[in-house]
Amino acid sequence: MLLNETRIASYFQIQAMIMGCGTSIETENQGKPSAADGPSKNPSPALTMKAAILIQRWYRRYIAQLEMRRRCTWNIFQSIEYAGEQDQLQLSSFFTFMLDNFTHLNGNGPDLISHLLDSVVEPWTEEGRQAKYEQISVPESYTGPRLTFPLSTTDANNLLTAVKEQKTLHARYVLQLLHETKKFLKQMPNVIYLSTAYAKEITICGDLHGRLDDLLLIFYKNGLPSAENPYIFNGDFVDRGKKSMEIVIILFAFLLLYPDHMHLNRGNHEDHIMNLRYGFTKEVMQKYKTHGRDILKLLQDVFSLLPIATVIDNKVLVVHGGISDRTDLDFLSTIERYKVKSALRLPRCSLEQLELGAGTRQGRAQLGSPYSQGRASRSTRKRKGYLARQSSCSSTSSSSSSSSSLCSPCISSLNTPRRNTPSPCNLPSPSGVLQVPFLDSFVSIAPPEPTREELEWRQVVDILWSDPKIQNGCTPNTFRGGGCYFGPDVTQNLLEKHGLKLLIRSHECKQEGYEICHDGQVITIFSASNYYEEGSNRGAYVKLGPGLVPRFFQYQVSRSTRKLTLQQRVNVAEGSALKALQEKLYAHRSELMTAFQQYDENNTGSISIGDWAQVVESVLRLDLPWRTLRPRLARLAPDGSVDYESCFEDVSPGQPVPQVTPNFAETLYRYRTDLEIIFNIMDKDNSGLISIEEFRQTWRLFNSHLGVDVDDHAIDEMARIIDFNKDGSIDFNEFLEAFRVVHKLDVKEQ
Amino acid sequence: MAEDRENAEAIISEVHKKISDAFDVFDHERNKTVDVREIGTIIRSLGCFPTEGELQEFITEIEEEEATGYIRFERFLPTMTKLLMERKFRPIPEDLLLQAFEVLDQEKKGHLGTEELTKYMTQDGEPFTQEEMEEMLSAAADPDKNVIFYKDFVSMLTVDDK
């Protein structure tokens, strides 16, 4: 025992010498055995202190390693999430591409186009819908809540009980609830001005994303909404989580019950195209097989009618995403918000350009646009004849000074650089550059002035999609593909302009559930705990009391009763993130292998770590610390270089893939989600089936838009193979199932 | 000679990349700066075991003249490279860690009580915050018996994660 103490003491001596600083504390036992025999009962205080420091040093290092892993994992999840959102914009640009090219298709395009046009129909013309839900009969056997309108607190309580007992509200009541909500929201302004005069405090909640448990926890901790307990829910109620429908039902019910004390802001996920991708549409279709489509249509209207912003006591602005240097609350108050159905659908000018094409379509009859100033330039364009358009963003015609740049989403083609080099770009009318015939040559002209509709759309997108940043200025948010990054100066200017003192927003997941930035002027509040993975983050809500001083309340829903240690939480989250990365690698296998082999001149099967990291980063286009991640993703060869094929070892197709070329299969795997969305749109009657011809046409168009090189023969072959019933239609869910992957390690565990 | 120099350059290049990767994880704005409060985590994750005092000295060295709360990569890289090449703040041998616990375990029981350990960690050396203490206890303490079997704990702390 003595020897240990001596050793520790002498260790510190050595350390001190190396560090070049003397220690003022001498140890008594340095170098000589103690006079006493046997172990000493009381080590000197100096030694105790040194032992303590040693343990603390080690422990802090251990925690730092966990923190590094946790942070890395977080970055992975965020990168993949935002890359997904960028892909979403790509899908939207595909829709635009289809609309643009509609005139070049022979005859009618696939039904997809008429579906897209359908969705632009105005809500005002659908009064006939009201009669519909009245005709739906509710069977005697139904044990869920039966609502009566106007709603009472009994109805609200019944709804709460029902969701806790996992009872589904009958479609008839859902439709009725949505109808009443729509009626109510129509008379609300875009920006709601609240006063906290009567209530003591107001509670603001952030993203819920279908996590019912979090909502119920908030109600449990903080009480139900009422006149004495007002709430603002700041958007993103749906998508990702599995109980989005339940959440909107409850929120809308309370909205109708306490119209002056319950307020909902629109989020970027209150958007039917986002819902197609991120799960809400699927959830609705699964829970409501017969009436799902009607419910979704009504939801679309309701979402577009949600207010954009709330202002408390003329001092606190609450919006879902953020602001830009163009944000103007007065202008926002005047716009027709319902026209912005989706941030990912361009304003109607793209449809009006279809007037160049043949045929009348039902949608266009409703395009009674009152925007005269836009008209003149469009008709001028028409007179000039043939137009060749590109749907990609042109950086040549953009302004680049950061303080006055137009902050707007960039419709990115595949080759647009992502996060690292934000390129300021002009508002995407579908044309980046117009080529106009002038005498014998084509002349480039600048795109026309944005129409009022485009301006309105841009303002809304900024509000719903922007994120704060630390540096001054306002730049396009290329990470997400929509909205802006706004700096403290932008915040300061806006608050000053409108006499406000605080901006509360959501939209970003924060580990503690909330975050304060811009010198206390911006609060981010996020209410979905465990957003990325069990244990990944807390949720929080904020209460503003007299004087509007914020108080934060945090919580975390837990599946298990025993609290996980930090290490366990990090392990779980990390495992999840790594799996997601492995799937990404798998989805780009061919491209990666080609690139790897270029570096592997001697065909050894391995390349340097640096080269491996470089290839992965450029192919996947995810800005992550690949060298640090490498040990978890790929094996080393005996000489210390990376065995690059080992990246693909742990992931394999779930079922035998139909006999198609590997490249094709991989492309299908990569765009699985997009295809699912497209098929769902095309499947008008929700049968799960689309015709072979529709599949063929859509796939061809999608391919040519993506620039993927798949020949027609492969497509036909694929169509033939998947026509399982040989009746000319395919069950696309079955088809997509073939392209799920499994992780080999999971399989082993089973 | 030239070969040696090439090797040396290659080694330094690798070190630079490692440092850069670790730095980037906390560079949220993608502008090669990190919050000064994350420097400790970065240094430690690169394999160093500084005390809090040593850490503070390091930060003072690389901070701007007028503290902005941010550390720039240009200042971090050379100092950190030197640290790694000179092997300053070397890892503490694992058996020493065990012996440190044994020093605290005056009665040589083979375990420490939670109050005992809390007292040492929050009063001696460079004291833990309450949060640090709670986290350590949640990881280290046997939930039923409310003691820390430090031998097991040391094994856990010293698992190499490379």
- Model confidence pLDDT, tens digit, residues A432-461: 333 334 444 444 444 556 678 778 888 899
Query: DSSP state, A207?
Result: B
Query: Which of B41, B132, B151, B161 would best serve as a mutation to test chain A binding (most A beta carbons within 10 A)?
Result: B41
Q: What is the pLDDT of residue A199?
A: 66
Nearest to A65 among B18, B44, B139 (CB): B44
The pLDDT of residue A479 is above 80: no
Distance CA A400, CA A397 (A): 9
Best of A61, A72, A554, A568 to disrupt the B interface (most B CBs within 10 Å) is A61
Mean pLDDT within A404-415 = 26
Q: What pLDDT, on the 0 to 100 scale, is given for residue A543?
A: 95
Looking at residue A170, its pLDDT comes to 92
pLDDT tier at A662 (50, 70, 90 boundaries)? low
Predicted TM-score (pTM) of this structure: 0.71
Predicted confidence at residue B134, as pLDDT, reads 87
Burial class (CB in 10 A: 0-12, 13-18, 19+), A400: exposed
Instruction: Determine, for residues A4 and B126 on separate chains, whether the beta-carbon distance falls below 8 Å.
Output: no
More confidently predicted of A550 and B90: A550
State pLDDT tens for residues A711-750: 667 667 766 666 656 677 777 766 666 666 666 555 444 3
- Strand stretches in A626-685, DSSP E: 635-636, 642-643, 651-653
Residue A76: partners with Cβ closer than 8 Å, 6 or more residues away: A577, A578, A580, A581, A622, A624, A629
- B48 or A135, greater pLDDT: B48
- Which pLDDT score is estimated for A151? 92
Judge whether residue A172 has pLDDT over 80: yes
Residue A623: predicted pLDDT: 81
pLDDT digits (tens, 9 = 90+) for A593-606: 999 999 998 888 89
The lowest-confidence range among A256-265, A343-352, A526-535 is A343-352
Q: Which of A57, A65, A71 sits opposite B26 (nearest CB)?
A: A71
Pairwise pLDDT comparison (A93 vs A542), residue with the higher score: A542
The confidence score (pLDDT) of residue A177 equals 94
Q: Which one has a higher pLDDT value, A634 or B139?
A: A634
- pLDDT per position as a tens digit, A198-250: 667 999 999 999 999 999 999 999 999 998 999 999 999 999 899 999 999 99
**CB pair distance less than 8 Å for A64 and B41:** yes
- For chain A, the average pLDDT equals 73
Lowest mean pLDDT among A69-83, A122-136, A414-428: A414-428
* Chain A residues with beta carbon closer than 8 angstroms to that of B29: 469-471
- The residues of A that are catalytic are 269
The mean pLDDT of A388-402, rounded to a whole number, is 26
Q: Please give the average per-residue pLDDT across A527-534, as a whole number.
A: 88
Q: ipTM surpassing 0.85, yes or no?
A: yes
pLDDT of A69 above 50: yes
pLDDT at residue number A503: 97
Q: What is the mean pLDDT of residues A406-412?
A: 27
Looking at beta carbons, which residues of chain A come within 8 Å of B132? 59-60, 63
Lowest mean pLDDT among A227-241, A533-547, A632-646, B141-155: B141-155
CA–CA gap between residue A83 and residue A80 (Å, rounded): 5
C-alpha torsion sign, points B152, B157, B161, B162: negative
The pLDDT of residue A453 is 78
pLDDT at A327 over 90: yes
The confidence score (pLDDT) of residue A655 equals 57
- From chain A, pick out residues whose CB is under 8 angstroms from the CB of B30: 419-420, 623
Q: Which tokens is A159 given?
A: 């709804």
Q: Which of A252-261, A305-314, A437-446 has the lowest mean pLDDT?
A: A437-446
A175, A295 Cβ separation under 8 angstroms = yes
Residue B81 pLDDT exceeds 70: yes
Higher pLDDT: A508 or A374? It is: A508
Cβ contact B44–A60 (<8 Å): yes
Provide the pLDDT confidence category of residue A349 given band limits of 50, 70 and 90. Answer: very low
pLDDT of A295 over the 80 cut: yes
Q: Is the peptide bond before A150 cis (omega within 30 degrees of 0)?
A: yes
Q: What is the pLDDT of residue A282?
A: 81
Please compute Rg for chain B using Cα positions: 19
Average pLDDT over residues A21-48: 49
A429 or A482: which leads in pLDDT: A482
Which residues of B are less than 8 Å from A58 in CB distance?
49, 92, 97, 157
**Does the pLDDT at position B160 exceed 50?**
yes
Nearest to A499 by CA among A323, A316, A320: A316
For residue A127, the model assigns a pLDDT of 55
Residue numbers in A near B23 (CB within 8 A): none
Query: Which of A93-102, A227-236, A300-309 has the weakest average pLDDT?
Result: A93-102
**Residue contact B108–A469, C-beta within 8 A:** no
Q: What pLDDT, on a 0 to 100 scale, did the predictor assign at position A31?
A: 38
pLDDT at A103: 42
CB pairs < 8 Å spanning A and B: 140
* Of A55 and A278, more confident: A55
pLDDT at A188 over 80: yes
The pLDDT value recorded for residue A253 is 96
Look at the alpha carbons of A723, A729, A734, A740 in this order and tell me if their dihedral is positive or negative. positive
C-beta separation of A741 from A669 below 8 A: yes
Q: Of residues A492 and A471, which shows the higher confidence score?
A: A492
Burial letters for A62-77: b for 16+ Cβ neighbours within 10 Å, e otherwise? Answer: bbbbbbbbbbbbbbbb
Q: What is the pLDDT of residue A13?
A: 53
Lay out the sheet containing A474-476: strands in order across: A467-468, A484-486, A474-476
- Is the CB of residue A683 less than 8 Å from the CB of residue A673? no
Contact A420 B30 (CB under 8 A): yes
Kindly give the pairing relationship between strand A642-643 and strand A635-636: antiparallel
